[in-house]
Amino acid sequence: MYFIEIIDNQLGEINNFNIFIGITLLLIITSVGVVYFIGKKMGSDERSESILTKMGSIGFIVYILLNSLIINTNVLHYKQFLTMNLSLSLIVATAYLIIRYRKDLK
């Protein structure tokens, strides 16, 4: 895809590379923190276990789709794009968890 090539070219500069890695790691840490916080608030019964399992499967499906559709193997910064896909899939999974948590509160 065209925008992946643009990002790959921009990652050649060290400042852009560090900013990209910092943002993706910040997104990963934030998503994991939110999942941990909401998971602790939900408790550990059958309902919350099924919600967390569904959240994990949604995150995994999104990760596989992003890896298969967006990234081709001839980019230079392949590992950084894998990290970006991981952060995006964690954001989607966290959004699902937040929506389900708010729905269960009402």
Q: How far apart are CA 58 and CA 14, in angstroms?
A: 33
Q: pTM for the full model?
A: 0.84
CB atoms inside a 10 Å sphere around CB 92 = 18
Name every residue whose Cβ is closer than 8 Å to that of residue 47 and which is 6 or more positions away in sequence: 104
Neighbours of 12 (CB within 10 A): 10
Task: Please state, in angstroms and rounded to a whole number, the distance separating the CA atoms of residues 63 and 54.
Answer: 14
Q: What is the pLDDT of residue 7?
A: 79
pLDDT digit string, tens, across residues 32-84 = 999 999 989 888 888 888 999 999 999 999 999 998 887 776 777 878 888 88
**Neighbouring residues of 83: CB distance < 8 A, sequence distance ≥ 6:** 21, 24, 25, 28
Please report, for the chain, the start and end positions of each structural domain, with discontinuous segments joined by +. 2-105
